[in-house]
Structure 1
């Protein structure tokens, strides 16, 4: 049977569960590893600090503008214009295009073929950012590579690599995609050997080449030292993006999510608006059904692409954002239906809860009344039990005393009869002797004969005590041992011989038999009452418990009598 308070608890839990289900969105475990979850939380915090990072980007732009103003030589001015174009190409393409125009104008003013080539390479970046890959490739192929400086050669390969990467990413035909991918790998291999290539870029390209050959552990080992260096945010973003690409190639989905997350954090910290890391991350979270994060991340990617006016990112990102938002809307519809059902069930549970609560209160009042009555009855029963226990103890003590008295009576009646017969015989012998002496001797001789010597009396008393000691120890065989247990260790009494008692023990034996008057004990022992008093005082002083000593003597053997009584009852 289910108790009322248990039913009440169950209904309360059910109602609370329903209310929580209505008011709270369910917490879903998407299977993230701890380090991945930490990275996602850091990314959420970084997204809230967008204004702070954008201000940092503006400070960097202001610094580069100052460099442009302070430029002394043509090379310094071209470098300053190129730096500003590179900053704006991932931040605001229109501004980047204006700096490209400035590069062209400066190159024409100086009639410098090298400066014009630098401007053309910068323009390919702008065209790629706007999604004009065909125009970017056409312009790139028109660039004359003859007489390139080491720096120009490095930049030329960087654009070549970017164009081929975009081609293989956009290729829909498998054969075409494979051809562009092979071209990308060849360019990467050549680029590694470029003399002016920065060490950071060379390590990255070498790691990606190792990953292309399936040597993923070696690729990670190549990039791992870079993670522990102090890098600029944009370099950190590129590093983690490459590691995410390697993880994706290796089929390591969890590591890919973590690395794309770290790359997205660095992109935000750098103030970049045109990136792939957050886009790739949103797609992977969408596959895990983490729709809330996927929607936020893709929307942020779209917002940044629009602010940057990146024609390459906007169509791709907007279609992905639309698909994700559609999934979010469907998910919200499902959750709303679930909430409606949960609300209905919770309402029903609340009605049931109210009825059960009222019923539980009634039953609780009845139970409290029954418990009070039961408590009173239990108290009365306990008092009765205590009284019965006391009466049982008294009856047991009385029964033990009766058994003890019966044992003593039985034994001493026999002894009394034996002694009576013995002394009657002695008196009869004495009478016959006196008759014979009276016939043959004079009265004086008869008187002398009747005057028994003192030693004969002592012999009679000794015989009496011997019989008494034997009878008493037969009734109480452990009497001496039990008396010693009541005395101090140094006052233990040692009898002169086995089966005999000393004077002290005979006094205690008389007390055990119920003779407590010192005068009666003195007549029994044929001594003065003061002697008995002295012995009793001495024994009390040697006792462990002086006040209760004689009472304990009187109770010696009672437990044996009690045991004998129970044994007799069981036999019956």
Structure 2
């Protein structure tokens, strides 16, 4: 028995795998179709616009009647208000030409679209006025429209008694329509399968529809309807996977034909909600609601509005769960990162020790001449350092004295400026006071005086700076000063670098420029260097020393 079970499982496994892949492909196709809904809507609009443009070229009422009928058909499941308008226009022309069949056909179109719009009284009034005996070829359509309208009314019924009454009428008119449709027609197949379904005969429904479905063209609006009926038969069979598959097929057909009045995608949204796929459920229900509102399909809007809060609440809960999981994940990752950093630190420390040991072994093997050479190099660096320290001490002494003088001078000027503003304020010259406060003249004058003081001090320390600086540049790129200038911006930047201030941000603050401007100046002058570009600033640091 066990061997037989294993063999049976092995035989069924490939079929199960294919079924799973097929379902995933269908789901992905539907997701893409939902995402591309605007593309299909645009195609629909183009088709409608072509028909509308033909109206201006029509000459006879019969031609207009035909065009209005085509526009009604295009708008019927797309935009109910427009469909109603063209159904009325068709009826008006039918009355003018006094063609009974056309009058009845137009009235049936009116009643059908009014049912979609929720105008049930108006629809039933029209149906009651029609003498269908005068148009026997329309009897099937007549009974179908009656069945559809009463079906809508049963969904909206406020009491159990009314619901039963309308369901009875729906089934009665549907059964009557079967007498007037050809057995192989889509209308007959849909009506017959619906009757089977209402009677709980899901096997008979599938036996009728599954062989018929492949014969339906992709461009047919009946494809989605029949796929939906098949899904409901599988629902009665409690075959969830098949129900979901056929609802998906139906929804793809609806969306690709740009139908806005449909049921499959809404039903699929609820199935996805029950399956726990809240993201898809939310996407599908929102698409369904937007399409129902666009079409003005009141029954569909009402049905969706009952489901939307349920799915939306689940979507919010899922977001909260995802957020909590993300926080846990981040905490876990952070903890792991700290652990890895500690591990890397220990590894780095161990490698450093190993490297140090290797260096010590290498140093032990060096020759006496190499040691003497290192000693000489060290002495040269020490002399260099001593000179740099001496120079730094000298710079500090000079700049501290200048800084104290400058600060004392600025304090005096600020006190004088304060007194001037005080006089303006106490004498009531508010306009002068506001102008003085807003004016940048004081700051600009002080900045100019500050830079002049800086230039004087720097050139006292490095009197040959300009000459030696230009010597580092290409001959025709030497810096030219204007009349009265001691240093220009370029020279001040490298004067600060010579003083040991190499950070562009600090130089920018000192000279009141942006960091990018300072960076550009430095790059431009490096490009003008007579020697290697990367050595230019180190050469500047040697200006005024015996090493230059």
Alpha carbons 1:131, 1:313 under 8 Å: kept? no
The CA deviation at 1:336 is 1.0
Alpha carbons 1:233, 1:269 under 8 Å: kept? no
**Cα 1:258/1:338, change in 2 over 3 Å:** same
Alignment partner, residue 537 of structure 1: none
Alignment of 1:462-473 (within 5 A): none
Give distance in 2, aligned partners of 1:218 and 1:365. Answer: 82
Name which structure has the greater RCO, CA cutoff 8 Å, separation 6+: 1
1:65-116 deviation digits (Å, cap 9, x = unpaired): 4776677876554343223112112112222122122123213323445433
1:257 aligns to what SS in structure 2? helix
Give distance in 2, aligned partners of 1:131 and 1:271. Answer: 21
Alignment of 1:332-343 (within 5 A): 332-343=319-330
2:260 aligns to what SS in structure 1? coil
Alignment of 1:501-516 (within 5 A): none
Contiguous gaps of at least 5 residues in structure 1: 1-31, 369-572
Alignment partner, residue 294 of structure 2: 307
Alignment partner, residue 102 of structure 2: 115
Q: Does 2:186 align with 1:200?
A: yes
Alignment partner, residue 153 of structure 2: 167
What TM-score results when the alignment is normalised by the length of structure 2?
0.55
The CA deviation at 1:282 is 0.9
Give distance in 1, aligned partners of 2:223 and 2:231. Answer: 12
1:148-201 deviation digits (Å, cap 9, x = unpaired): 231x21221121121122233334655554554444333333222214677122
Alpha carbons 1:168, 1:177 under 8 Å: kept? yes
Give distance in 2, aligned partners of 1:256 and 1:200. Answer: 21
Alpha carbons 1:244, 1:260 under 8 Å: kept? yes
RMSD: 3.2
2:192 aligns to what SS in structure 1? helix
1:271-330 deviation digits (Å, cap 9, x = unpaired): 111111111111111111211111111111112122223333233324433332232122
Alpha carbons 1:233, 1:267 under 8 Å: kept? no
Give distance in 2, aligned partners of 1:175 and 1:287. Answer: 31
Give distance in 1, aligned partners of 2:297 and 2:51. Answer: 22
The CA deviation at 1:255 is 1.1
Alpha carbons 2:76, 2:83 under 8 Å: kept? yes
Alignment partner, residue 246 of structure 1: 233
Alignment of 1:90-129 (within 5 A): 90-129=77-116
The CA deviation at 1:359 is 4.8
Alignment of 1:115-514 (within 5 A): 115-150=102-137, 152-171=138-157, 173-174=159-160, 176-195=162-181, 199-231=185-217, 232-359=219-346
1:194 aligns to what SS in structure 2? coil
The CA deviation at 1:340 is 1.8
2:297 aligns to what SS in structure 1? coil
Alignment of 1:15-30 (within 5 A): none
**Cα 1:171/1:65, change in 2 over 3 Å:** same
Alpha carbons 1:164, 1:184 under 8 Å: kept? yes
Contiguous gaps of at least 5 residues in structure 2: 1-18, 356-548
Give distance in 1, aligned partners of 2:62 and 2:136. Answer: 13
2:244 aligns to what SS in structure 1? helix
Give distance in 2, aligned partners of 1:143 and 1:198. Answer: 27
- Is 237-246 or 112-121 further displaced after alignment? 112-121
1:121 aligns to what SS in structure 2? helix
Alpha carbons 1:125, 1:159 under 8 Å: kept? yes
Give distance in 1, aligned partners of 2:262 and 2:135. Answer: 30
1:146 aligns to what SS in structure 2? helix
**Cα 1:328/1:196, change in 2 over 3 Å:** same
What TM-score results when the alignment is normalised by the length of structure 1?
0.53
- Is 47-56 or 334-343 further displaced after alignment? 47-56
Give distance in 2, aligned partners of 1:38 and 1:197. Answer: 34
Alpha carbons 1:128, 1:312 under 8 Å: kept? no
Q: Does 2:15 align with 1:48?
A: no
Give distance in 2, aligned partners of 1:128 and 1:192. Answer: 21
The CA deviation at 1:129 is 2.1
The CA deviation at 1:39 is 0.9
Give distance in 1, aligned partners of 2:288 and 2:301. Answer: 9
**How many residues of Structure 1 are paired with residues of Structure 2 in the alignment?**
337
1:215-262 deviation digits (Å, cap 9, x = unpaired): 323322221233322512412212211211222222222111111111
